[in-house]
Chains A and B, each alone.
Chain A
Amino acid sequence: MKKNKIAGKIIRIILLIIFLIFALFPLYWIVLTSLKPTYELYTFPIKYWTINPTFYGYKKLFEFVNFKQYFSNSIFVSFLASFISTIFAMLSGYVLSRKEFKGRYAVILFLFFSQMIPSYLIMVPQYVMFSNFHLINKLISIVIVYSGFGAAFSTIMAKGFFDRIPKSIEEAALIDGCNEIQSLFKITIPLMLPGLSAILSFSFVNNWNELFTAVMFLNTSNKYTVPVGLYSIVSKAGIQWNVLAAGIVVALLPTIIVFAAAQKYIIAGLTQGSLKD
């Protein structure tokens, strides 16, 4: 009996390590590639480590491909869109969590189904629509699109977070003479801050990673976002893998930071917010 337990424990540890290696090895490899000098990229035997790390790939990336511009475009688009959608989600998530009203269920269904429609399916009609407003090749157009997609998902997440804050706290504030809006801003929203930061981070990661709408909407290089920049690098013939790897690493950095900071809350929001009524 005891022997079995120890064997089970060892198997468990081994499997956990295998999963970890499987998850991290590709990332290790791309970071390593980004630091390898060009002559080490295509040689045998393949090197699992480099003794001559160089920032050549990164230098090339910022010199030739205008990656700095893409990066600041992406920061602008991702932050603004996540901010807008989080504020919208905060308002509507609160009402959906706290109020009983006619059509409440219909609103939830509407949100649920609109988040199931993936962005690329409707990017063509969106493109036609935005070109009628002369908004093509403007960053603000993808900010609007991302805000809309973000609002659908974030509202459902926000509702889940609000559901976990006891109603009694607000009721106490109302008795103490706060009105509803005061109690929302003074009591509930401060309690919601971890939830809101999770929602914000989650949309940020989504917006940062979006490719197809951005490729469609943005057509001059100074407007590219990071994924569009990567896409355009790949389309160019003869790209060196250390330069491309450097591009991928730079593209990953913000999501690493955001995910590391908010991971716990993002996961809580995903598992408890998205599907429960």
Chain B
Amino acid sequence: MKHNRFILFMLLPTLLLISFIILYPTISGVLLSFKNYSVFNFGNIKWIGMENFKEIFGDIFYMDVVWNTIKWIFFSVIFQLLFGFILALLMKEPFKGRGLYAGLVFYPWAISGFAIGLIWSWLLNGQFGVINDILIKLGFIKEGFNFLSDPTLAMFSVILVNVWYGIPFFAIMILAALQSIPNSLYEAAEIDGAGYFTKLFKITIPYIKPTLINTILLRVIWVMNFPDIIYGMTRGGPAGSTEILSVKMINTVFYESNYSKAAAHGVIIVLILLIYTIMYLKLTSKKEFSL
């Protein structure tokens, strides 16, 4: 009995706080999405059923936003994974100053997404941006790109920046997994005459597969829900070309002040994520997902 009281005493503060700050608002957000709570009807808030959802799905540009979101997630995660993996492989063997190197190369991950967006919007500035200057000096291009004002280039640009931001996270997770691979596996393979790539595909990748699966699952969710960089760079523009679902939701709050419609956007995002998580776990087999 005393034992249980101790457990309760230790857990309760956290559980109450999280229920109050996350659980309750999540439920209340679902309810809010069926109301008409906006700056324009504070005096007359009522239940309007599916109206917000109808309005969202009736928007002819909504599919563009969904498509943007898919592009944003797919290319961001693929390249974060690829470069993060390469970086982790490079850092696997100890070298002098590896601790310092890790601190420097992983640092982007500690910067606020919004600040990253601002920094890169200056680097990619069409007129005064240093990236154009470097590309011209290296002879790759003759004239500067309008990275952020050209709708086709804008999506490419925000993804590029998101990749820059996300490489450290993948590298950190993969590096930790790489270091748990017993060296004897490699030694045995070397005796059999295996080369670098044989070892990579036959030992390394299978061994760290659970980590890869977990990290990709988490990353897709986070990348989908990461409006910060886009907000610092384009706020969804030009002409909606970088508007992803989470940016759309934020814009509904800040520009339309339609809180119920914003909540409806949020509900849709959560539903998509739920479906994604369930499907992902089914496809990758639950056994490898260790919570």
List residues of chain A with CB under 8 Å of any chain B CB. Answer: 8, 12, 15-16, 19-20, 22-24, 26-27, 29-30, 33, 41-42, 45-46, 48, 88-89, 91-92, 94-96, 99, 101, 107-112, 114, 116-118, 120-129, 144-145, 147-149, 151-152, 155, 180, 205, 208-212, 215-216, 227, 230-231, 234, 241, 244-245, 248, 251-252, 255-256, 258-260, 263-264, 267, 270-272, 275-277
Contacts and interface: CB of A to CB of B under 8 A. Distances in A.
Contact of A209 (B113, B120, B175): B113
Contacts of A128: 28, 32, 37, 259
Nearest to B92: A12
Contacts of A276: 290
B60 interface: no
B189 interface: no
Contacts of B6: 95, 180
Given A91-B13, A96-B11, A125-B28, 17 more contacts: A19-B105, A33-B122, A88-B14, A95-B6, A118-B246, A122-B25, A125-B32, A128-B37, A128-B259, A129-B24, A147-B21, A208-B112, A209-B114, A234-B118, A248-B118, A263-B106, A272-B176
Interface stretch (B66-74, B151-159, B224-232, B279-287): B224-232
Contacts of A227: 112, 114-115
A136 B37 CA distance: 17
B243 to A, nearest CB: 15
A89 B14 contact: yes
Interface of B: 3-4, 6-7, 10-11, 13-15, 17-18, 20-26, 28-29, 32, 37, 83, 86-87, 90-91, 99, 101-108, 110-116, 118-120, 122-123, 127-128, 130, 133, 164, 167-168, 172-173, 175-177, 196, 214, 218, 221-222, 225-228, 231-232, 246, 249-250, 253-254, 259, 262-263, 266, 269-270, 273, 290-291
A120 B246 contact: yes
A20 B104 contact: yes
A248 B232 CA distance: 12
Contact of B110 (A16, A48, A117, A255): A255
Given A114-B18, A255-B110, A120 B250 contact: yes
B234 to A, nearest CB: 12
A116 B172 CA distance: 19
Chain A interface, >50% SS class = helix
Nearest to A201: B110
A275 B214 contact: yes
A125 B25 contact: yes
A275 B105 contact: no
Which of the listed residues B37, B119, B167, B226 has the most CB atoms from chain A within 10 Å of its own CB? B119
A99 B7 contact: yes
* Top-4 shortest CB links A-B: A148-B21, A209-B112, A271-B176, A125-B25
A94 B10 contact: yes
21 contacts: A15-B90, A20-B105, A24-B107, A26-B120, A46-B130, A114-B23, A121-B249, A128-B259, A129-B25, A148-B22, A180-B6, A227-B115, A230-B114, A230-B118, A252-B111, A259-B103, A260-B103, A264-B99, A267-B106, A271-B173, A277-B290
